[in-house]
Each structure stands twice: as structure tokens, then as C-alpha cells.
Amino acid sequence: MLAGLIAAQIQASLTGDARARTGLAVSYDPSARTVRLRLDRPADVRVTAWWATSFTPPEPRSTSRVLLGARLEAGQHTVPLPAEIPAQASFVSVSAGDAVQVITVGPMPQLALLPVPQSP
């Protein structure tokens, strides 16, 4: 599930130095449903939203949408989240140059766990 998101999370874990070089800082404002990002220098930026569409085992499903793909100047920027992105099981990845940061927009829902059959 959310294979592209997992790839972005791995890339984010490996780009700490790149984040420091670009000055990339990302946050989420839930009341305004906007992603806020700050750049210390101009960069090619891509903002992608990822969310689950089904939790049915064995293959949960998900989708994604590119919200922004543009060259941005240094400074503060906001990216609004469209209404189609749910308030649960949703995430945003932001890449600026070779720096990546992933944030949680809506946490995963609590799913009921089925009992595990016991052997006699």
C-alpha cells in the first residue's frame, strides 16, 4: 500500500544533508488544510499527496496526486489541499531539488483486528 509514499519516506531518510542545503522545511496547517514550505534558496519543487482508498486485505489500495510541480523562489509558500484528499490515511511528500520531506496529513484509522485462529 502506498508504495510511492514508502519510496519517498526512504528517500527522505537519506536526504538530511540535502534538506540542510536547500533549507527545506515543511509543515501542515490542519485548520486551513494547507502545506507550508520554506526554502532558503530557489528550487524545483514537487508536492504530492498520497492517500488510502481501500483497507480491504490482502491488497489495500491507494492513490496519489501531484499538487505542485514548479520552480519556486526562496521564501515561504503554501499549497492548499483539495477536498478530495481525506482527513485520514493521507500524507504529503515535498521534494525540493534532491531534498525530500514527508508529513502525515491524516493519521491511519484504527482498524479492528480479527482474532488469530489458535491451533488445537
Give the position of cell 490542519.
30
Domain ranges of the chain: 3-106
CATH tag, 3-106: 2.60.40
pLDDT at residue 112 above 90?
Answer: no
pTM: 0.80
SS3 content of the chain, % helix, strand, coil (to 5): 15, 45, 40
- pLDDT by residue (tens digit) across 29-48? 999 999 999 999 999 999 99
Residue with the bigger pLDDT between 120 and 49: it is 49
Collapsing DSSP states into helix, strand and coil, what is residue 98? coil
Rounded mean pLDDT of the chain? 84
